[in-house]
């Protein structure tokens, strides 16, 4: 929702522009420009120091904006929060102050609060590029894609020299313009090594695809039902999740773990070689685990069959490591054109047409970050945050920071599997109540796992995972188009 108001912002913008003009004393602009150049070169620590020095001598809107953005680039969220509050206190009628406050709140996972700040900034000045960019990001996670594109294009138009707006604008260009725009972005705007690696990998991938249509249905299937197979862990017979049978290139039939926390098809490199998958581009795979990024590659598969569904011209990810103790995973986003019902108790996956004109009852809104569906979740009486809906996780998890607010946590050594290997949990609580999406689950175990790398990559705080154990006795409904999910208990 892009909300602008006519007469109020005209008056307030005049005041805001006047305050901006007065906020930088004569002779100080060269210091600001020097700090901006440090930021553009990804020297974020130096930029932070430069902006702090300017603020110490003569606080200004521009210096505070640069400081908060530098701290967010460094992923120093607590310091960014403190500086953002100081910024807003010093310049309460400044649109950039509200926009930067929105950026911090967004990173903290407080999406509705962030949107309130972006709207406040646009009410003060609807020419503020950072506010338009923030609103575009909010629209995207609410699955308002048309509004998101409009807002982000507006942000880039207002400030072509903003690297973040440039990047988001470049992503939304058609092929091959997206390649040219992203290469221009990398040439002109530096970032940390990991972020730049992600961008190089994505550019290589879209070059390899060369604008081809992918995951093309061989025929239209209006609705269908696919059997789910129970997967267990080793000799313990502990339930690991449910899988679906998948035929790859007519050379292998395997069971892939059905994973709401994953995207597309991920298989081992050994299996990729067996089915004759053609390498497209190098790409790391990251997630829970301490082994670092799993260096694999994107690969081309001519044909994938899942039940009645047949897809041609597909890309998959080939991983050097075994995934989830099986041959691989399949993300529920593969079926995004349907209303998805994962009936765990009934052991079936049902795909129906999406409802016309919007979401279906009894679905509730989730925050859509690519293939991740994030839900506001409460644990016990004191802990809350955004949790990933993750049927591929073999346990419910919580970050160590948030876990400190649960007094029942005890020291244990429990393995939790993820894309970056296996980690051993440090603390566990075995009788917690989880509340999410209108569901109240009691008697749930929850383990602490470090999710910081995932939060940093997404740009939003992930506080935990709603794992298979919390979902096993329910029907799960997903509408990716609207970013909505629903839960129905087995006794419903």
Q: Are 370 and 262 in contact (CB under 8 A)?
A: no
DSSP 323-337: BTTBSEEEEGGGGTT
Q: Where are the domains of the chain?
A: 6-158, 217-339, 364-489
- Which DSSP string do the residues of 145-184 spell out, in sequence order? HHHHHHHHHHHHHH-TT-HHHHHHHHHTSPTTHHHHHHHH
Nearest CA to 464 among 403, 420, 391, 381?
403
225-270 pLDDT tens trace: 999 999 987 766 788 899 999 999 999 999 999 999 999 999 999 9
For 401-411, b/e burial (b = at least 16 CB within 10 A) is ebbeebeebee
106-108-109-112 Cα dihedral, nearest 10 degrees: -50
Q: Which two tokens stand for residue 259?
A: 């994973």
The enclosing H or E element of 29 equals helix 29-40
Task: Determine the pLDDT at residue 168.
Answer: 98
3.30.450.20, 3.40.1010.10, 1.10.340.30, 2.40.70.10: CATH of 217-339: 2.40.70.10
Same fold for the pair 217-339 and 364-489 = yes
Predicted local distance difference test score (pLDDT) of residue 412: 80
DSSP 8-state symbol, 127: T
Q: What is the reported pLDDT for 356?
A: 84
pLDDT digits (tens, 9 = 90+) for 20-38: 333 444 446 889 999 999 9
Q: What is the mean pLDDT of each run of 10 residues along the chain (492 residues)?
A: 26 29 53 96 98 97 98 98 98 98 98 98 98 98 97 98 98 98 97 95 97 98 98 79 97 97 95 97 70 78 98 96 82 97 98 82 90 96 95 93 91 61 72 95 94 94 96 96 91 55
Interatomic CA distance for residues 388 and 149, integer angstroms: 25
* Superfamily in which the 364-489 domain is placed by CATH: Acid Proteases (2.40.70.10)
Residue 112 class from Cβ within 10 Å (0-12 exposed, 13-18 middle, 19+ buried)? exposed
pLDDT for 24: 45
Q: What is the distance between the alpha carbons of residues 324 and 233, in angstroms, rounded to a whole number?
A: 9
Predicted confidence at residue 408, as pLDDT, reads 87
The rounded distance, in Å, linking the Cα atoms of 84 and 103 is 9
CATH top-level class of 6-158: mainly alpha
Task: Give me the residue label for tokens 């249905």.
Answer: 217
Distance CA 38, CA 47 (A): 5
Q: CA–CA separation, 365 vs 143, rounded Å?
A: 9
């Amino acid at each position: 929702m892009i909300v602008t108001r006519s007469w109020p912002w005209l008056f307030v913008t005049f005041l805001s522009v006047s305050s901006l003009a007065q906020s930088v004393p004569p002779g100080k602009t060269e210091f600001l420009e020097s700090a901006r150049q440090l930021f553009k070169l990804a020297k974020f620590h130096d930029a932070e120091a430069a902006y702090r020095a300017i603020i110490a001598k003569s606080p200004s809107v521009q210096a505070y904006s640069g400081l908060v953005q530098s701290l967010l680039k460094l992923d120093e969220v607590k310091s960014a929060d403190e500086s953002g509050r100081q910024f807003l206190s010093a310049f309460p009628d400044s649109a950039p102050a509200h926009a930067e406050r929105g950026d911090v709140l967004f990173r903290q996972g407080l999406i509705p609060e962030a949107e309130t700040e972006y709207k406040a900034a646009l009410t003060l000045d609807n020419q503020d590029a950072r506010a338009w960019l923030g609103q575009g990001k909010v629209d995207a996670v609410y699955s308002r894609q048309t509004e998101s594109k409009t807002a982000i294009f507006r942000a880039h138009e207002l400030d072509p020299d903003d690297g973040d707006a440039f990047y988001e604008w470049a992503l939304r260009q058609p092929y091959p313009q997206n390649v040219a725009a992203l290469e221009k972005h990398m040439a002109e705007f530096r970032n940390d090594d990991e972020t730049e690696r992600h961008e190089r990998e994505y550019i290589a991938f879209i070059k390899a695809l060369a604008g081809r249509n992918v995951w093309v249905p061989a025929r239209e299937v209006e609705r269908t039902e696919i059997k789910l197979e129970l997967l267990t862990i080793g000799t313990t017979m502990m339930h690991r999740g449910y899988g679906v049978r998948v035929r790859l290139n007519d050379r292998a039939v395997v069971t892939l773990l059905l994973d709401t926390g994953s995207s597309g098809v991920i298989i081992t490199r050994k299996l990729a070689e067996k089915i004759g998958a053609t390498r497209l581009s190098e790409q790391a795979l990251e997630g829970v685990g301490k082994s670092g990024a799993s260096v694999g590659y994107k690969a081309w598969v001519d044909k994938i069959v899942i039940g009645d569904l047949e897809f041609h011209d597909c890309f998959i990810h080939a991983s050097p490591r075994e995934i989830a103790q099986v041959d691989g995973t399949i993300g529920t986003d593969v079926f995004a054109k349907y209303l998805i019902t994962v009936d765990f108790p009934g052991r079936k996956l049902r795909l129906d047409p999406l409802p016309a004109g919007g979401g279906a009852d009894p679905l509730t809104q989730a925050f859509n970050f690519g293939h991740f569906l994030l839900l506001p979740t409460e644990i016990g009486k004191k802990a809350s945050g955004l949790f990933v809906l993750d049927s591929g996780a073999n346990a419910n998890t919580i970050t160590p920071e948030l876990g400190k607010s649960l007094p029942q946590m005890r020291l244990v050594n429990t393995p939790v599997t993820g894309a970056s290997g296996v980690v051993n949990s440090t603390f566990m609580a075995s009788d917690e109540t989880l509340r999410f999406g209108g569901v109240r689950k009691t008697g749930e175990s929850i383990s602490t796992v470090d999710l910081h790398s995932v939060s940093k990559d997404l740009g939003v705080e992930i506080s935990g995972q709603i794992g298979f154990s919390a979902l096993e006795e329910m029907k799960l409904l997903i509408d990716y188009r609207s970013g909505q999910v629903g839960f129905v208990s087995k006794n419903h």
